[in-house]
Structure 1
């Protein structure tokens, strides 16, 4: 088991202990927390001995906003976390922690590693973390750890360690039904049972939402089941996860269109359809009083289809010898060809009344990924020279086999809604585009990641403990091009082999000033190997469309993060019979050879490539406070994040402040986009009566620079304040009704900003729009009501 020892313990913000009100007013009752020092259970140490920031969300915290929701709980409660939503779908946000990003979408280098019950959850192809594949109500606890290289590749900013429920930790059943604004309907059924040494747990989840914007519907089905056995010295669990989802995201929209129609989408369709399955087995065997072994084996499968309707890359060539055909980017450029080399005809030769040719492009991507792996670990707590000591050592392997296909089709786009369609008289779904070096694509990818780690925590005194260790990572990545070589392609094809290795050390201390107060600090390193998606799209000449199409390229360098951090956590008596917990931490991380997705100056609009852009600094601090009493609870967090580039580089951008060549130059000290420098969170609940409670939560953040404005040349995306209200009433001990109002002030705010090319697509809402600023607008005021029945 990972994280907190009690599923209902409220531990955000966490301290060195979880505190509860004690009967005597002059004392504080405490509940200890164990923190897993590695992804596998059995590595737990008391948080008072852990030399880094740890935040824990229990199942109660995950459902504080009504129904259980991981991303929402992290956004509203966890210090240092903010969300951006480029897809504008409520189930597809990017999670940023201290400026490091975790995304379900290709094209974002992963800065956090994710483990579920000891098994790696990052998808092999792009290190994505598809959190919507997990039924939220089935999560027992979620722990965010800083500065721990034992969590393997991508733990640049930390790791997310998730423990699922099982029949030993959850007993009985619960049926939850809810519905509300924008066609939202949720249903969840969970049941846990134990009989002697055997226990079982199952969770079924169904979610549907029509959405408040055009083409924003969501449909998700999830299953999780666990069968466990517990003997005198050993435990064994076998669990399965199944998920199916179809998520439509209207994405960003130019601000001039939003001013006329906030619900509009720009071009469509834009959907991601996922089918996910995972089977895992975990073992924890205590072979002596001081020694135990842990192991995990897993297999997962992901089939993902992406469908993106976009504005045209191919336009009429104009007068001349190529009249009657389409050219890449319009007149004066190479003639667009279909598969086989034939030119694509000008199949919509007459412009509409506004003078636009209503061409469109449909981009299709298919990813079929098989992931598999395992870990084996030994843990020993025997004293060393009479001193308390806890040492763990382990080996891990994570492999992957992926087939990836991508294609682009030329067709039409509707005048009013700007949705791709197939015009009469052309092949369905359109003319298959052949752009040498870009599309179509077929590639087979094999990943092999190896890890060996060691960590030792030694109590030098009753108050002072030292932790030292490290992990050695090896990454082997092989790509095999499935398409015949194209002599017209600028690159050398997709095939290639890439090898990376790095040793990541860590050392830290924890000093207990009092039994309830701890000072901690340390140094750690972590690395991230470039993903196959990044390795196959790393040259401006051989770009890919929105990180979805691959092309041949040179090697990228791996990212290495070096972090120094220290902090103070503790607990004390608070006012009017409450208990007070606190956490103050500071961190300073330099990533060498950071990777970003840059716009290509050579290929059509929307194409880009991955590149190492030098060093990036992420530094700041978090202050987390909490008060708990018998009838009320309150928390407050403030996070200061400064994420800046440390080296200069130049990139192409649709930024209106770009120079005559369309370039912007990033200078040392420029801020990364999407990361607020100031982030505030507050919340609380009050038991009005023994049966009725009300709660309030709020998030406020300052402005952020737009993606595409890494040089900080234009005005930033405005900051915002959003408040949410919840209430619960227990009709009986087993029957509860609840209500939620999100964004109670109906604030208009935006959670992602970038630049879109102005022109090329007719916009009926504003035919003359020229401002390239494009925002992802957040939902207005919305309500949900529901019922929970326990049995």
Structure 2
């Protein structure tokens, strides 16, 4: 029998009247293709998007191509609500991506809170839960789903959300493509794609090459990425064998003091700052149909990565040291690291899909081992602010370790009524993190063996009030366990030189996040959709990195933090124009009081809660203080106009309010001269926060016929000077950029992450055979 919606209730009729005649009771609305999103990292049967009790956001491969985004962080920044980036490294492939106040970052030391999956394989690196955006094959991406909240089914690190990335195949993307582009900053791109199928066999290959000089001094970068997929598809099942290979050399020159930024925004603080990544990942995934309603899904993978860094930094021991006030000898240091990580895992699930239910039960096992080494070469900071006259290399740290996580999970979406859907989920995680100090065998050292267990639940409802109005509400809980880098740098008495130097490893608690979310979504007309939602996530025992100097600090558990906010969205299509408008409000705060080290904050040594212990370099962070690095307001506008059959013009705007600098967690830093409770008088420069900004980007595409396409884009059209992040630190250079031998002349300043100036690129694309 054909399923019918029940007669609308009085509440439904009232809501229908409130939203206009388009949703009046009894009016027939033309139905659209049902949009399905994944309910687990593995490929299952999926769940209709409107049945999910959360504001899931998606980007298709067509949207990625139309916006001509360089990579995934840029695409998410431009299109998805509640996403902002902190360009701490100053490299387009090394951005911190923030979603609802939680971060996925390639930078060790950043509190990670988003899980990222590529075709069901978790790509958060085991050593620090970091995400290396430069290793993702951009041209091979078929689409992404950004799943909000602390959804337990997506496993560890899903505190604020999960990003599920899907890749193309020969069945879905047959044909070939060659694309070349170039322009500002000496940037050159080459992309090659080929896909096809014969009977039950499909194949797909993508190769990307990126190289640029960078817009700042000493900022050359290069990335080579290869992705291949062999597919089998039949009536009984399907399987994919994928290979991801990437070799990159990224330069991230980091933050710049405001005084130097005002003089010339394209200069850098110190150099070199290089990260070399080498990745090989092999994965086999598949799905077997047992009958019309049941299937089995699974995958197995092996992932090997090698990361080498070279950072030219200030020598933290120079101040008050032997040469302070005498010469610049031993003023700088080359810090080198080498990290090798090997991870393997398997997961499987049973899927049931009936007219009223989508049930999945599964299990996973992931094991990773890593080896880490760090060395240092003392030298001098020369006239270019590079490190020269380096001395002998000394070993700072050497260890190996492992992480192991076993999980059981279940998720079920059940139709209580044809228009009312209940979703319940749970995941039980069992993790063990071990480290072995190869350099120091005397306690306290880096030896550690820590185990963690957690059962995380989720429940939610989705109600199709009337055909054009959907309401949802849900609760979810997720957790993440401390990583080896955090456990190895958790002693305030032995701060670490980031990115990787480590000391003793006191126990850290696992982070637990609980999210409440509710909202409405629907249609104002056949071509205009909207959504409005609110959320609140409370994290317990959040792991934060507390800075003790420009480049050193330690990890610690911090009571509670809270992220809550509002999301409003509107999108539509009128004839030849597609458009969207997204507004986000984020209120991210500390929910506990604590003393944190912040020696470059003007309020240091003034809080009675901290000075009682004799500390003059701490600030007091109280409940309600804003988390740094996160704008309160964000607005995103986008438009794509098909001017003719062969010409498309587009543009987008991103606008963000200001944010507090790291080191200003108490939100009290101000420029000026201040005296602390111990009688010490110091001068501080900068406001300790960034200003709000808005930038406009334009893009265009012309189809010239016979498979040829010409495209162009201009970023930051009005050449806006802006900063995406900031931190409080000490500047040892004068206004001319020369090193000052006497640390008494150093200035405590606000350092900023400069946004890129106006830039333009043009390219040609040749498509043939169906792509």
Aligned-partner SS, 2:153: helix
Distance across 2 between alignment mates of 1:662 and 1:762? 26
Aligned to 1:400: 368
Residue number in structure 2 paired with 1:374: 346
Partner residue, 1:457: 413
Shift of 1:27: 5.2
* 8 Å contact kept, 1:99–1:643: yes
Partner of 1:688: 643
What is the alpha-carbon distance in structure 2 between the residues aligned to residue 724 and residue 740 of structure 1?
7
Partner of residue 567 from structure 2, selected from 593, 604, 622? 622
**Do residues 720 (structure 1) and 685 (structure 2) align?**
no
Displacement, 1:765?
Answer: 6.3
Q: In structure 2, what is the equivalent of residue 63 of structure 1?
A: 65
Aligned partner of 1:482 among 423, 435, 438? 438
Instruction: Give, in angstroms, the shift of residue 758 of structure 1.
Output: 2.7
Give the Cα separation in 1 of the matches to 2:161 and 2:748.
Answer: 38
Aligned equivalent of 2:538, options 590, 609, 616? 590
* Structure-1 separation of matches of 2:83 and 2:52: 21
User: What SS does structure 2 have at the residue aligned with 1:63?
Assistant: helix
What is the aligned counterpart of 2:386 among 399, 419, 423?
419
Q: Distance in 1 between matches of 2:130 and 2:65?
A: 24
Contact 2:183 2:760 in 1 (8 A): yes
Q: CA offset at residue 196 of structure 1?
A: 0.6
Whether 2:385 is the aligned partner of 1:448: answer no
For the pair 1:658 / 2:660, whether they are aligned, the reply is no
Deviation at 1:599, TM superposition (A): 2.4
Paired residues of 1:704 and 1:717 also in contact (CA < 8 A): yes
Q: How far did residue 265 of structure 1 move?
A: 0.6
1:499 partnered with 2:451: yes
Q: 1:350 to 1:641 in 2, by over 3 A?
A: closer
1:534 to 486, 497, 515: 486
Distance 1:225 1:633 in 2: 33
* Aligned pairs for 1:598-747 within 5 A: 598-600=546-548, 606-660=551-605, 661-714=616-669, 715=687, 716-747=689-720
- The alignment partner of 1:594 has SS state of strand
Contact preservation (8 Å) 1:124, 1:399 = no
Q: After superposing the two structures, state which structure 1 stretch, 119-128 or 221-230, moved more.
A: 119-128
In 1, the alpha carbon distance for the partners of 2:221 and 2:425 equals 44
- Give per-residue Cα distances to partners, 1:443-500, cap 9 Å, x unaligned: 11111011100111111111101111200011111111111435xxxx6111110000
Residues 730, 746 of structure 2: 8 Å contact kept: no
Q: State which drifts further: 668-677 or 651-660.
A: 651-660
TM-score (norm 2): 0.89
Q: Residue in 1 aligned with 2:259?
A: 256
Following superposition, the deviation at residue 621 of structure 1 comes to 1.1
| Alignment correspondent of 2:21 | none
After superposition, where does 1:272-351 map in structure 2 within 5 Å?
272-315=275-318, 329-331=320-322, 351=327
How many positions carry a matched residue from both structures? Answer: 709
SS of the residue aligned with 1:71? Answer: helix
1:762 to 1:527, Cα distance in 2 relative to 1, 3 A = same
Secondary structure of the structure 1 residue equivalent to 2:90: coil
Question: In structure 2, which of residues 136, 139, 142 is the aligned counterpart of residue 140 of structure 1?
Answer: 142
Cα distance, 1:571 vs structure 2: 2.2
**What is the CA deviation profile of residues 608-656 of structure 1, one whole-angstrom value per residue up to 9, with x for unaligned ones?**
1100011001000111110113311110000000000000111121424
> What do residues 209-252 of structure 1 show as CA deviations (whole Å, max 9, x unaligned)?
10111111110000000000011110010000000111111111
State how far apart, in whole Å, the 2-side matches of 1:733 and 1:510 are.
Answer: 47
> Could you give the per-residue CA deviations for residues 106-135 of structure 1, whole angstroms, max 9, x where no partner exists?
111220111111111111111111121111
Partner of 2:10: none
* Shift in CA distance, 270/647, structure 1 to aligned 2, threshold 3 Å: same
- Whether the 8 Å CA contact 1:533–1:547 is kept in 2: the answer is no
Task: Answer with 121-130 or 148-157: which moved more.
Answer: 121-130
Coordinate RMSD, CA, aligned: 1.9
Give the conservation status (yes or no) of the 8 Å contact 1:654–1:772: no
Query: How far apart, CA to CA, are the structure 2 residues paired with 1:760 and 1:66?
Result: 39
SS for the counterpart of 2:262 is helix
The separation in 2 between residues aligned to 1:188 and 1:373, in whole angstroms, is 30
Match of residue 342 from structure 1 = none
Kept after mapping to 2: 8 A contact 1:378/1:392 = yes
Q: CA deviation at 1:590?
A: 0.3
Deviation at 1:761, TM superposition (A): 8.0
Distance 1:462 1:198 in 2: 39
Aligned 8 A contact 1:678 1:702 in 2: yes
Q: Report how far residue 73 of structure 1 moved.
A: 1.1
Unaligned residue ranges in structure 1 (runs of 5+): 1-24, 316-327, 332-345, 424-428, 434-438
Structure 1 residues 380 and 492: CA distance shift in structure 2, 3 A: same
SS at match of 2:128: coil
From 777, 782, 788, give the equivalent of 2:759.
782
Q: Which moved more, 1:587-596 or 1:565-574?
A: 565-574
CA contact (8 A) 1:213 1:265 kept: yes
In 2, the alpha carbon distance for the partners of 1:764 and 1:110 equals 34
- Normalised to the residue count of structure 1, the TM-score between the two structures is 0.87
8 Å Cα contact 1:68/1:137 also seen in 2 = no
CA distance, structure 1, for counterparts of residue 531 and residue 657 of structure 2? 22
Q: What's the offset of the Cα at 1:63?
A: 2.2
Matched-pair contact (CA < 8 Å) for 2:411–2:426: yes
Would you say the 8 A contact 2:71–2:93 is kept in 1? no
1:30 alignment partner, SS class? coil
User: Measured at CA, do residues 747 and 595 of structure 1 come closer, stay the same or move farther in structure 2, by a change above 3 Å?
Assistant: same
1:663, distance to aligned residue in structure 2 (A): 1.4
**2:6 maps to which residue?**
none
CA distance in 1, matches of 2:65, 2:599: 41
CA distance, structure 2, for counterparts of residue 560 and residue 407 of structure 1: 35
Q: Distance in 2 between matches of 1:219 and 1:263?
A: 19
What's the offset of the Cα at 1:349?
Answer: 11
Say which SS state the counterpart of residue 628 (structure 1) adopts: strand
Counterpart of 1:245 (choices 225, 228, 248) is: 248
Q: Report the alpha carbon displacement of residue 659 of structure 1 after superposing the two structures with TM.
A: 2.5
Residues 403 and 687 (structure 1 numbering): CA distance in 2 closer, same or farther, change over 3 Å? Answer: same
Tell me, yes or no, if the aligned pair for 1:43 and 1:392 is still in contact at 8 Å.
no
Other-structure match for 2:161: 158
Report the CA distance between 1:769 and its aligned residue.
Answer: 6.7
Relative to structure 1, is the Cα distance of residues 669 and 131 closer, same or farther in structure 2, using a 3 angstrom cutoff?
A: same
Q: Which runs of 5+ in 2 are unaligned?
A: 1-26, 606-615, 670-686
Quote how far apart the aligned CAs of 1:262 are: 1.2
- In structure 1, the partner of 2:53 is 51
Name the SS of the counterpart of 2:719 in structure 1. Answer: coil
Cα deviations by residue, 1:353-381 (Å, 9 ceiling, x for unpaired) = xxx55721111111000011010100112
